[in-house]
Chains A and B, each alone.
Chain A
């Protein structure tokens, strides 16, 4: 009778953990402040589709054509021209010290060659030390060229109007047509923040009992390993939900991210993800010898989670081996769930393929933790 799992003993551990959590003001602050800090940093500071990039103009020619060109480049919002045109030498210097992202060189005689149908060149130099910064701007410029001067090519210049293409290539940018980075980052942050705080908090849970010496009393009682582990996990599920609510509220009110799908579904599916992270945390806790080791192990898990899950970099852009690692991590699947529900309005049936791997991970982590849990002080 005393050998079996007991809900009463589980409840004892849960109440104890709650009281201890309530008294631990630093951890409580961490639970609230870490998500807020990450939200503000990632949400406001990171932009993978930057606009208004500083651009120098080398003006070798001046006509209504060049004015049209420059105006339409400005209209893409990607280019922010310096107040004064510069020389080629100055442009090179400015780029080398990182003051400009682009230099637009309109060679002398551009307009003349254009009218003569000599197909003149415009040179746009870009600082590609950061490829991400330039790529969308370059795409925007490419889209300009062919029909740019159609309005200027009227009357006697109408011979310059290019022939219509044999077919049209249409691009449909779905779910986030304006390519707003925050739409990608903020729903993803929910998973990242939960991974980080849930794992660290629980990784400390059992090592703390050892470090404070309370494990000796605890082990002398009839409490069973599963009761201790679940008792330490369950209170933090509530903490996880507080964080999740905080992040979704910020996504909606601060970053105005449209929530296409069901919030209920999202909250429901957050449960296995939170539980999976708590389980891996508790498992680290059973392996680590002290709280420092537990923290280090948490970071060891957190780093691949943030880098290989598709949060920071596109998942399908990674080599096969990196995708394989990513496919083990619960965050990879949860990112797809949150982005799916928030941005695409996915329903349960369509999120299920991303749910069961998280559940398998959780069960596996919990089993490993149970196996590692020491029932003696040996």
Chain B
């Protein structure tokens, strides 16, 4: 990605409280034009709230910034015309057919050549003319997501805000979904996408991780991993469960996580970590040092954040 590309999203000090509960705290985000930006974090961490603030659906309690160069506080109406927002929960009209939903959106955005654009959109969705008369409420989860994405893209927005677009969607549909997003990226369309899937996070150009309303890290994947400064040992062998129990007692080991048939043993100090695992480096286990992975970083960030903000 071009480092000097103008910022599609540039916000700082963003806060949002509902009553006394602060859901987003002092959040800053910079997303470059044409970038696919991953937005990660546990459930209830404030991802949806942040996205809603960006597209004018919620008024920030504090903070300021721009979206596509428009002020997020005062120019949210203009932002709405240039942003495509896909909600976490399907929010198109279930009692309208696929085509009727798209027609409604097309009219609301005052699109020219309405029929042509809807037909193009249906072609891209691989929906036949007959199927387009099916009610949206009768579609399966995957088809609903595709329709929602098509609706969010119908007015050719410069920025897509996608809130967990692939939750509950089968792998094949997820794959084609991401192909579409990368395709849009090459056309210069910026995407901010929230997700829980690591493989999806790894397909983003840059990402941000948020927990308990706090932004914990942001940057490209190598940067994020480097900034965390973690050291990883991967261990294989018998009865890893008992081993994990023992390792967790050592303060030099920040966390131990099961990954398939292996354990990831992570620490912040390489020497102390090596010392800690030394008693178990025998012929029962095979140890291997490796660079930390994104998921190790996130697990580390959340456990640290839990101590600070949780």
Contacts and interface: CB of A to CB of B under 8 A. Distances in A.
A378 B110 contact: no
A11 B57 CA distance: 23
A378 B96 contact: no
A19 B93 CA distance: 11
A24 interface: yes
Nearest to A227: B108
Contact of A2 (B81, B100, B107): B81
A20 interface: yes
Given A213-B90, A214-B92, A2 B78 contact: yes
A114 interface: no
Interface string B92-107: 1111100010011101
Contacts of B110: 2, 6, 8-9
A110 B251 CA distance: 118
Contact of B87 (A16, A216, A223): A216
A16 B104 contact: yes
B109 A221 contact: yes
Given A2-B81, A12-B107, A220-B55, A19 B96 contact: yes
B85 A222 contact: no
A377 B53 CA distance: 10
Given A2-B78, A16-B96, A377-B57, A221 B105 contact: yes
Given A213-B87, A221-B108, A16 B93 contact: yes
A212 interface: yes
Interface in A203-231: 212-217, 219-223
The 5 residue pairs across chains A and B that have the minimum distance between CB atoms: A12-B107, A217-B91, A220-B85, A221-B108, A216-B91
Highest count of chain A CB atoms <10 Å: which of B80, B89, B104: B104
A254 interface: no
Given A216-B87, A220-B85, A376-B59, 13 more contacts: A3-B78, A6-B110, A15-B103, A23-B95, A214-B91, A216-B89, A217-B85, A219-B57, A222-B80, A222-B81, A222-B109, A223-B108, A378-B58
Highest count of chain A CB atoms <10 Å: which of B59, B78, B107: B107
A227 to B, nearest CB: 9
A8 B104 CA distance: 11
A299 to B, nearest CB: 26
B12 interface: no
Given A9-B107, A19-B100, A223-B108, A377 B90 contact: no
A378 B100 CA distance: 29
A8 B110 CA distance: 7
Contact of A20 (B58, B92, B95): B95
A32 B92 CA distance: 29
Contacts of A215: 91
Interface of A: 2-3, 6, 8-9, 11-13, 15-16, 19-20, 23-24, 212-217, 219-223, 376-378
Interface of B: 52, 55-59, 77-78, 80-81, 83, 85, 87, 89-96, 100, 103-105, 107-110, 135, 151
A214 B109 contact: no
17 contacts: A2-B77, A3-B77, A8-B110, A9-B107, A9-B110, A15-B104, A23-B135, A24-B95, A212-B91, A216-B87, A219-B57, A221-B105, A222-B77, A222-B81, A222-B108, A376-B57, A378-B59
Contacts of A16: 93, 96, 100, 104
Contacts of A8: 107, 110
Contacts of A23: 95, 135
Contacts of A216: 57, 87, 89, 91
B89 A213 contact: yes
Contact of B91 (A13, A19, A213): A213
A11 to B, nearest CB: 7
Nearest to A23: B95
Nearest to B106: A12
Contacts of B151: 217
B58 A376 contact: yes
B85 A212 contact: no
Contacts of A220: 55-57, 80, 83, 85, 87
Contacts of A19: 95-96, 100
Contacts of B56: 220, 376
Nearest to B78: A2
A222 B78 CA distance: 8
Contacts of A212: 91, 94
Contacts of A222: 77, 80-81, 108-109
A217 B59 contact: no
Contacts of B83: 220
Contacts of A15: 103-104, 107
A23 B136 CA distance: 13
B284 to A, nearest CB: 53
A215 to B, nearest CB: 8
Contact of B80 (A13, A24, A221, A378): A221
A216 B95 CA distance: 16
Contacts of A2: 77-78, 81, 110
